Structure 1
Amino acid sequence: MDRMRALEYFVAAAQSGSFSAAARSYEVTVPAVMKLVAALERSLGARLFDRSTHGLALTSVGQAFLEECRPALETLLLATDAASNTSRRASGNVVVRAPQLLSRLILVPALHRLHAAHPNIQVDLRPLEALQITNADGAGVDLLFALGISERIDLVGRPLAQTRLLVCATPQYLQRQGRPRTPQDLRDHQCLQVRSPEGTVIDLWRLQRGEHVEEVAVSGYLVSESRDVVLEAVLQGQGISRFADLSIWPHLQSGRLEPVLPDWYSLGSPMLSSLYRASSLRQTRVRTVLDHVTAVVREVELQCRREYPFLGDTTGSPIAPTRPGRMSKSRRSG
């Protein structure tokens, strides 16, 4: 039995909940995956999965085994690849999809560092606008960076950073319109909102201070599926909105934006994750870009935490309304 390959198949199947998804990740047949996983179970003398018509579910032994072997497997893969590529420089094209705000304000300014260290790597950076992603978003892509994933897709996910949603405005807007003192004061302001691809306007904001949580239904004269559009309007002093701290960090540093209600933080702040096919990490160029982006993002995350320690830690979850929300008129009438 190829134990390393068996472990790779086991981890992929456990993360996706499907032998077929694991097979697609490694571009092999489903029987090949099932055969090696079964051999692994026999060698361990324990059942790792409960199999049913509803899919795969880890047994208690399987869950414990996954937690133990996943980090060890990643370390082994990295070491194996490093040993076999010591004389070969990373090169080639890497297709990356990421939210446009994150790309423009965080990733693009840091690409020169990647190029200086690895001049033979070309990054094909493509936009990702959806709040919820699907398998189609990962087609033909080596690396995908996304916020708030709730749907299971046939890619391996790795959390990179816990973002925090900041309610922000320009200093000029706050001087002109006044500064909200409580979450309920947001009702008296132009709160510009994002609409999900499904047509749901995310207009219920939940904020917490200590043990106290308040919900406020906000409104404003602009709603858009594009965070870029909403950010531009806020930067022009047209209103208040919420953004993931990592996405707007340069504007916070420069003072163009400042947090509103600084002693409150927004619930539902999403995790920023990287997604990729398990086989992709065997490619030096892909892993090099992933390591570079990971380092950049975590550096910015630490800066945000040092600058705004009052925000505390929030539990990662998808960006979504905590009630059904309202449908845009165009979607209702259709």
Structure 2
Amino acid sequence: TGHIGPILEMVRKLETSGYAYASGGDVYFDVSQDEDYGKLSGQRVEELNAGARIEPGELKTDPADFALWKAAKEGEPAWESPYGKGRPGWHIECSAMSLELLGENFDIHGGARELMFPHHENEIAQSESYLGPGSTFAKTWWHCGELRVDGAKMSKSLNNFISVGDALQMASKNVWRLLFLQTHPRSPLDYTLNKMEQAKSSWNRINTALKDAEVAEVSEASTAFQAQFDAALGDDLNTPEALAAIFDAVSNFNRNGDAGLAFAARTALETLGFAFETSEIGDTLTPKLLELLIETRNEARERRDFKTSDVIRDKLAALGVILEDGVDGTRWKIES
């Protein structure tokens, strides 16, 4: 609603340039005026028109044309325009906001596979017609698979969605990232509680192995790993293959202690957006406060005040901070 002005400016220019026409309070994009229409999805206008018909109440002249502006209907939100009161069409909203906020020829436009046609196809048609010959709306288009929950598509209507807030109560962002990236981005991702538990276990294994990895000399194993990781991402962003290389690297490090391999694997994970304990906490004060609590707990244990020491341990555990007592003292870690 904050972009009605730019939307109407875009509709007006498309109409005055001959790419759109007004009809009874509606404005439609004329796909016959766009020679490149269908270049994203491979759809051909003549195929779209085969067997197509104009629905009752629609005022367009060709079944393939799509609405840029729709006349007001009772009960719908509406805004004043040169065509009378109405509202934007579905596709024009995205084009106008993208161009205003990102500008022409921005890097990546993403979305679900089912949006490739007609939504993204129509975005390209109206945007590049608006910008003029030789223009590019977006450099790269990336279409991902749908998100499912126990086999059913996640949707508001089915009430089977998980909010971001609820998701982060269930598991850390690292676990969610691992869960998502184990499926190729172009493929449907089916969320189940069992997969979540597997991702938690996998991340704990990775984090335990690599959380203390530091800069080390390049080794033969780290060089081979880096080549495998880079090749996976270069193959249509094949994140499952990239993670498989990381899992193999973690297993090899646990066997042979190759510090160069550990650092390469940790760096690869950070490239994918994962954060380890020190950066996951979010500030420099928190570790100091935790050390202070551990010191207080140790003092309580020395004077045999086990009730206080247990309370500190249990309350930290409830917050996701696990204390591990050993011969070298007490260490803490963030539970994923």
TM-score of the superposed pair, with normalisation by structure 2: 0.27
Q: Which has the higher helix share?
A: 2
Larger Rg: 2
Q: Which has the higher strand share?
A: 1
Greater length-normalized contact order (CA 8 Å, ≥ 6 residues apart): 1
